[in-house]
Structure 1
Amino acid sequence: MVVGEIIHEKDVVVIGAGPAGYEAALRAAQYGRDVTLVDRSRSGGECLHTGCIPSKLLAISARKMWDSAPGVTMDPEFSMQQWHSEKVEVVERLEKGLKMRFKSNNIECVKGSASFLSSERIGVEQGEKFEVWTFQHVIIATGSRPKDPPFLSENIPDVIPVEQLYKTPSIPRRLVIFGEDYLSLEAASTFRALGAEVTVVTASDSFMDDIDETIKRELHRQFKKQKIRVMTGATECNAVAGENPIFEGIKSTGERIEIEADTIAYSGGRIGNIESLCLEQAGIEVSGNYISIKDTCETSISRIYACGDITEGPALAIKAIKQGKTAADHCCGVAATFSFDCMPTIIQTQTPLATVGLTEAEAIEAGYQVVAESSPMRASGYTSLLRQTEGVVKVVRDKESHLLLGFHAIGAGAVELIEKATLALEMAGRDEDFSYPYSPHPGFGELWSETVDRTIEKKARSIEYQ
């Protein structure tokens, strides 16, 4: 029952406390705006509590199991129970840190469910209390939820979204993962490293076509080496309940698939959490389950912004954070726009993968005279010291202008290297910008100069496209 109505006036109201929401709230508060942050759950959103942080934490644990160093001997054991306990400590510490930042920036935090009453007012239901806010600006950042795949027609135990794998009490002995996005690949690699028998099933006839061919080949090789089974072209899929769930399907070749598993996990995309917002009350335009936005993150209604998973594009925290800051900047009078250009993709498999800019094929299709060169990770003395020599680094540049067009890497150091690549693309970096500066020796950065030198001097191979 809702009784009473309290009306507040605010500069900026942010709906949702995930990465997009909390970054938007902090940014607006730092500009001196009076900010209220409304969320019906815990600060940090799914990224902190069920997604990014738990998945990366388990990936790190899996890597540590297989780390080695000269003169060091060990016989590691993994305890899922202990991991869960320490995961809770990490998540709670990060959430506490967020709340301290809210407090130090004078951000009012309200726990409740928000919805639009008009384009000028929102209501927040908090149990039996209902409050109304008028605002100068609203930033919507309510995130998303997993989309059920077509084959899941009923609720079957042990058939779960990939995110729920990080809540399981133990490592499943046999794990089937349906999907080929970063969540699926990270989970497959991590759980295999911790002892699970893993099969990755995809509906597409090929695997990871959106990454550079050189990196894709290396990813295939790594999965094969890790004994992760990959089955592509699976159609007419179904999950059958039983003592253990069975994944069924038919491959595009006509071959039947039948895999018994302890757990079937799926990642079939995300759905924006927009239903309870009553967007029609404010006249906000939507496209399917997403809110339509301009490059400033402003919606079809002036003064109302949207960012993160409720907007079209990849459901990535890196996108959400950037959009949250863009929305806050713009509503505070600071010129800002958002673009998917120069946005890196990072996949924390056991051999990490990171990519930004154009692939070699995309650069050729765009009409550039492409020079592309690769260096094996073992070309860096640092990877030898770490005993992590698997992988490859690839640079794609324009022959005529020497501009960097794309950077792609898989292996130890890929995530560290991608930051330099992203900055270089943003600043229109050329050959001399990579070959001239000093690189620490030994260090991952030497892979940059090693690979760029190959494109300049054509020591190994040079590909020219007229």
Structure 2
Amino acid sequence: MVVGEIIHEKDVVIIGAGPAGYEAAFIAAKNGRDVTLIDRFRPGGECLHSGCIPSKLLATAARKMHEKTPGITVTPAFCMDKWQEEKNSLIATMEKGLQARFHSSNIECVKGQASFLSENRIGAEQGEKFEVWSFNHAILATGSSPITPNFLSSSSHPNILPLEHLYTLSSLPNQLILFGSDYLTIEAASTFRALGVEVTIVTDQETILPEWDESIQRESIRQFKKQKVSLYTGVSDCLVKEREMTLVFCHAKGETVEVETEMIVYSIGRVGNSDSLGVDQVGIDIQDDGIIPISEECKTTRANIYACGDLTGGPSLAVKGIKQGKTAADHCCGVKSAFSLECLPKVIHTQTPISSVGLTETEAKEAGYEVMTASSSMKANGYAMVTGNTEGKVVIHRDRESHVLLGFHAIGAGAVELIEKAALAIEMGARDEDFIYPYTPHPGYGEAWTDAVESTVEYKVETKVSH
């Protein structure tokens, strides 16, 4: 390694070119800052190359396999090899789009392993080359890596893998065990079952999606039962017989269960990718799991160094990282900004999509609200009937006294798109009348939200007294 003599002076240096990092770069560049973006891999991060985009592309393919349209009869067939070609082509196109935006925004994009050299210098190793940048502000957006369950930590079996490896397969397995309970697990289970794979979900949690509203948990379990997905919750004492590819565990009911499979994938949590950043050189606080704590302004314990995305803990969602990246960049440019997880919309691209924003019923009650809950079945929605997507429902929670809307939770067609309106309502602190007053297109999935909110309104009926 040869250290270059020239030090590049920059306003903002960003480490990590995933959604949090590149959105931060675009905002800083738009505000006239001289920006360098460094990543050890390729622009787009895990989201583009192995996470969000591949998983949604496969979920879309699975959904189209089962679409029903009146008057049209088709017999679809799925080919994983062909899908991989389409996936790689799409990723290449999107990556080129990012590169074009970097060029047009005058953002320097560097491939290399970056780390702090001092409180205002970052170095990046690029093979035999080593470059140094001085900065006024730095933004860390290096993402996270999956945690391996203890009972799998010593395994080297090629078919025991982190969940994201599912989207690199050249062929579908006949049987698949997913160990986990988070949204990644649920989405993958739904997709692969729709493609004909025999799917089993195993988790040591008491339920799937433990941080989501209870209504979503119950409906998801009902959907999986209907799809013949095997589900084991509250398990313990897990071990793998690798020769037979059998997962053995103690079920919550007390009996020992053995499940044979072709492949085991896991998603039980993530750790921050901070071990190679050299944060000890600048005195940034860091947790044992690699997570870097931040303020609502995305500041670390160093005033001119920010962090965003998975590296900061909390939900591993691109939407959160993008908001935090923009917030960090705003502050680098002297613009006041902040982020809040209270208004964070969450979506799962299951075959029957899921979305949520605001408080769950349990959270609302624990916060002291007198909660009114209402739901509307998609079976009663005219547009759902037209499109043949009548599975699921929407659920809303509001405070009885103030009429403020507290939480929106949906499982059904249109859930992903409709959550934007709900997120805006939560952000505004909207009351039921604010949500009901605007026009709702008919027929449309959005009428389900309006129906649910309207059903919580308590009208006073005047009665005439006859003399």
Q: TM-score, normalised by structure 2?
A: 0.96
- Give 3-state SS (helix, strand or coil) of 2:12's partner: strand
Structure 1 position 257, deviation (Å): 2.0
Partner of 1:148: 148
Q: Is it true that 1:107 corresponds to 2:107 in the alignment?
A: yes
- Give 3-state SS (helix, strand or coil) of 1:8's partner: strand
Correspondence list, 1:416-427, <5 A: 416-427=417-428
Maintained 8 Å contact 1:2/1:127: no
Q: Is it true that 1:332 corresponds to 2:333 in the alignment?
A: yes
Structure 1 position 369, deviation (Å): 1.7
Q: Is it true that 1:236 corresponds to 2:248 in the alignment?
A: no
Tell me the distance in 2 between the aligned counterparts of 1:402 and 1:311: 34
Correspondence list, 1:159-174, <5 A: 159-174=160-175
Tell me the distance in 2 between the aligned counterparts of 1:115 and 1:35: 16
Tell me the distance in 1 between the aligned counterparts of 2:433 and 2:4: 67
Tell me the distance in 2 between the aligned counterparts of 1:249 and 1:277: 38
Partner of 2:207: 206
Tell me the distance in 1 between the aligned counterparts of 2:402 and 2:207: 34
Tell me the distance in 1 between the aligned counterparts of 2:84 and 2:383: 33
Partner of 1:402: 403
Partner of 1:462: none
- Give 3-state SS (helix, strand or coil) of 2:339's partner: coil
Partner of 1:49: 49
Maintained 8 Å contact 2:80/2:172: yes
Tell me the distance in 1 between the aligned counterparts of 2:438 and 2:338: 31
- Give 3-state SS (helix, strand or coil) of 1:275's partner: coil
CA offsets 1:381-418 (integer angstroms, 9 cap, x no match): 11111100000101111111111000010010111111
Partner of 1:4: 4
Partner of 2:385: 384
Maintained 8 Å contact 2:181/2:207: no
Structure 1 position 456, deviation (Å): 0.9
Letter in 2 for 1:92: A
Maintained 8 Å contact 1:354/1:414: yes
Q: Cα gap change, 1:73/1:293 in structure 2, threshold over 3 Å: closer, same or farther?
A: same
Correspondence list, 1:170-181, <5 A: 170-181=171-182
Correspondence list, 1:51-450, <5 A: 51-152=51-152, 153-242=154-243, 244-288=244-288, 289-450=290-451
Maintained 8 Å contact 2:3/2:131: no
Structure 1 position 208, deviation (Å): 2.7
CA offsets 1:88-135 (integer angstroms, 9 cap, x no match): 111111111111111111101111111111111111111111111110
Maintained 8 Å contact 1:159/1:245: no
Maintained 8 Å contact 1:6/1:130: no
Tell me the distance in 2 between the aligned counterparts of 1:359 and 1:274: 32
Tell me the distance in 2 between the aligned counterparts of 1:205 and 1:413: 29
Q: Cα gap change, 1:449/1:105 in structure 2, threshold over 3 Å: closer, same or farther?
A: same
Structure 1 position 457, deviation (Å): 4.5
Tell me the distance in 2 between the aligned counterparts of 1:132 and 1:2: 11
Maintained 8 Å contact 2:183/2:209: no
Tell me the distance in 2 between the aligned counterparts of 1:302 and 1:366: 33
Letter in 2 for 1:108: E
Structure 1 position 458, deviation (Å): 7.7
Tell me the distance in 2 between the aligned counterparts of 1:365 and 1:313: 20
Maintained 8 Å contact 1:20/1:317: yes
CA offsets 1:58-82 (integer angstroms, 9 cap, x no match): 0000000000111000000001111
Aligned residue pairs, count: 458
- Give 3-state SS (helix, strand or coil) of 2:72's partner: coil
Q: Is it true that 1:37 corresponds to 2:37 in the alignment?
A: yes
Q: Is it true that 1:26 corresponds to 2:26 in the alignment?
A: yes
Q: TM-score, normalised by structure 1?
A: 0.96
- Give 3-state SS (helix, strand or coil) of 1:456's partner: coil
Letter in 2 for 1:406: G
Maintained 8 Å contact 1:38/1:114: yes
Structure 1 position 428, deviation (Å): 1.0
Structure 1 position 3, deviation (Å): 4.6
Structure 1 position 338, deviation (Å): 1.6
Maintained 8 Å contact 1:5/1:130: no
Task: Pick which of 3-12 and 197-206 moved more.
Answer: 3-12
CA offsets 1:303-327 (integer angstroms, 9 cap, x no match): 1011111112111111111110000
- Give 3-state SS (helix, strand or coil) of 1:11's partner: strand
Partner of 1:464: none
Tell me the distance in 2 between the aligned counterparts of 1:2 and 1:260: 53
- Give 3-state SS (helix, strand or coil) of 1:290's partner: coil
Letter in 1 for 2:92: E
Q: Cα gap change, 1:268/1:213 in structure 2, threshold over 3 Å: closer, same or farther?
A: closer
Q: CA RMSD in A?
A: 1.3
Identity in percent: 59
Maintained 8 Å contact 1:151/1:237: yes
- Give 3-state SS (helix, strand or coil) of 2:342's partner: coil
Tell me the distance in 1 between the aligned counterparts of 2:5 and 2:287: 32
Tell me the distance in 2 between the aligned counterparts of 1:401 and 1:419: 23
Maintained 8 Å contact 1:158/1:262: yes
Letter in 1 for 2:69: A
Unpaired segments of 5 or more residues in structure 2? 461-467
Maintained 8 Å contact 1:15/1:142: yes
Maintained 8 Å contact 2:4/2:132: no
Partner of 1:463: none
Maintained 8 Å contact 1:5/1:129: no
Structure 1 position 302, deviation (Å): 1.4
Tell me the distance in 1 between the aligned counterparts of 2:5 and 2:276: 19
Tell me the distance in 1 between the aligned counterparts of 2:277 and 2:210: 36
Letter in 2 for 1:274: S
> After TM superposition, where is structure 1 displaced by more than 6 Å over at least 4 residues in a row?
none
Maintained 8 Å contact 1:3/1:128: no
- Give 3-state SS (helix, strand or coil) of 1:203's partner: coil
Unpaired segments of 5 or more residues in structure 1? 460-466
Tell me the distance in 1 between the aligned counterparts of 2:268 and 2:433: 43
Maintained 8 Å contact 1:383/1:412: yes
